[in-house]
Amino acid sequence: MSTKAADFSLIIKLLIGIVAGSLIGTYLGNNIQSPLHHIMDAVASVKYALGQIIFYAVPLVIVGFITPAIVRLGQNASRILFTAVAIAYLSSIGAAFFSTVSGYAIIPHLSIATSTEALRKLPDIVFRLDIPPLFSVMSALILALFFGVAITWTKSENMARLFSELERIMSSLVVRIMIPILPFFVGMSFLGLAYEGSLSLHLPVFISMVLIVIVGHFIWLAVLYGIGGALSGRNPWEVFRYYAPAYLTAVGTMSSAATLPVALECARKSRVLSKNLVEFMIPLGSTVHLCGSVLTETFFCMTLHLMLYGTLPSVGVMILFCLLLGIFAVGAPGVPGGTVVASLGIVTGVLGFDQNGVALLIAIFALQDSFGTACNITGDGALTLMLEGIFNRNEELGELQHKSAGENA
């Protein structure tokens, strides 16, 4: 299955799970005396088991993806590559901090009903299948960082190959196990939320969240292109104005990989970029630059934290979350839903989300992920312009495309 088809398939399955779960949960909640009410006992047990499987795999995914990402960076650490990845990381954590500040300013003014309000009580779990993780999320992160740095220092080819194979194995685990069970997990979580009455209570807030982050995407793009123009001394509009086809393609496909050919064509039309840096940064950016997704996830996490747990996360917790989320964004697997899966570790380990919180985050993030992807892709043009200002201000790496564009006009 192609990346585009797989992404679309996941969104459709999540939508089906959300709609089916919401309808069934609403019906059961309004018909407590119905014989079908006992379905909730089975739902609670199955959802718990699926959550245990997902959370068992999360630390393994962290080690499997983050370690080889660090090793690859160390093995290919040319000056331009290091700078490009550093800029992508700074853009991602900058978007996260921008989202955090905006969250503290905006979220308290949203009409959010907290979890302390009276709701129907969910039935107890009849069958509890406990699958403890091999180690905690933070232990997995530290282990991945230590191994990645140590392998780079020692230039151990055997360990590099070992973790490369582990990455391939974990990618298979994500694609064949974690992603397929997500729609069931999310659907059952929405069933529970609808049953207890929480869903109808929060629906207007969900809509507001999506609209706010889309506006945030364009504000952050304006910041990136402004910085790119300042560093390069060139007009950022001469890059941004060609990106409409790439933006719309990303919205339609929900996939950076599927949008990459269009993004390359858009960037090649710019008269202020060089061919060499376009062909270097645009493909790299589609993998490591996820500013839109990071901005979205940060704002959603803050809103859901207030919604489900009654308070916004503390400033210290959000600073740690933003710094780690930038690392996870760079090392996120290139599979449908990979960004969400890669970040589950810090969502649970740093923010303390439970299964309901994770399910809500997955669902809302997936439903608007096309706009986050579009922001990621469009932001790659700004990062290319920044590299032009740092390494090719006087055309040291190659002439600007407008000199050859006349031949193709």
3-class SS string, the chain = CCHHHHHHHHHHHHHHHHHHHHHHHHHHHHCCCCHHHHHHHHHHHHHHHHHHHHHHHHHHHHHHHHHHHHHHHHHCCCHHHHHHHHHHHHHHHHHHHHHHHHHHHHHHHCCCCCCCCCCCCCCCCCCCCCCCCCCCHHHHHHHHHHHHHHHHHHCCHHHHHHHHHHHHHHHHHHHHHHHHHHHHHHHHHHHHHHHHCHHHHHHHHHHHHHHHHHHHHHHHHHHHHHHHHHHHCCCCHHHHCCCHHHHHHHHHHCCHHHHHHHHHHHHHCCCCCEHHHHHHHHHHHHHHCCHHHHHHHHHHHHHHHHHHHCCCCCHHHHHHHHHHHHHHHHCCCCCCCHHHHHHHHHHHHCCCCCHHHHHHHHHHHHHHHHHHHHHHHHHHHHHHHHHHHHHCCCCCCCCECHHHHHHHC
Distance between CA atoms of 118 and 254, rounded to whole angstroms? 38
Is 391:277 a contact under the CB 8 Å cutoff?
yes
Contacts of 16 (CB under 8 A, 6+ apart): 183, 187
Q: State the CATH architecture for 3-408.
A: Orthogonal Bundle (1.10)
Distance between CA atoms of 391 and 50, rounded to whole angstroms? 49
Contacts made by residues 146-154, CB under 8 angstroms, sequence distance 24+: 147/63, 147/67, 148/66, 148/67, 148/68, 148/69, 148/70, 148/71, 148/74, 149/70, 149/74, 151/67, 151/70, 151/71, 151/74, 152/70, 152/71, 152/73, 152/74, 152/75
Q: How many CA atoms lie within 13 A of 215 on its CB side?
A: 9
pLDDT reported for residue 185: 81
Distance between CA atoms of 153 and 41, rounded to whole angstroms? 53
Distance between CA atoms of 231 and 240, rounded to whole angstroms? 16
pLDDT reported for residue 3: 47
pLDDT reported for residue 295: 93
Domain residue spans in the chain?
3-408
pLDDT reported for residue 405: 43
Distance between CA atoms of 201 and 29, rounded to whole angstroms? 14
pLDDT reported for residue 223: 96
Is 255:4 a contact under the CB 8 Å cutoff?
yes
In order along its 409 residues, the chain shows pLDDT tens digits of 444 455 456 667 877 887 888 888 888 877 777 777 678 888 888 888 888 887 788 788 778 877 886 777 565 445 777 888 889 999 999 999 999 999 999 998 887 665 545 556 777 777 888 888 888 766 777 788 788 888 888 888 899 899 989 988 987 887 788 778 878 887 887 787 778 776 666 677 778 888 999 999 999 999 999 999 999 899 999 999 989 888 887 776 566 766 777 888 888 888 888 887 887 788 778 778 889 989 998 999 999 898 888 889 999 999 999 998 888 777 665 454 566 777 888 888 889 888 878 888 887 787 677 788 889 999 999 999 998 898 888 776 666 665 644 444 3
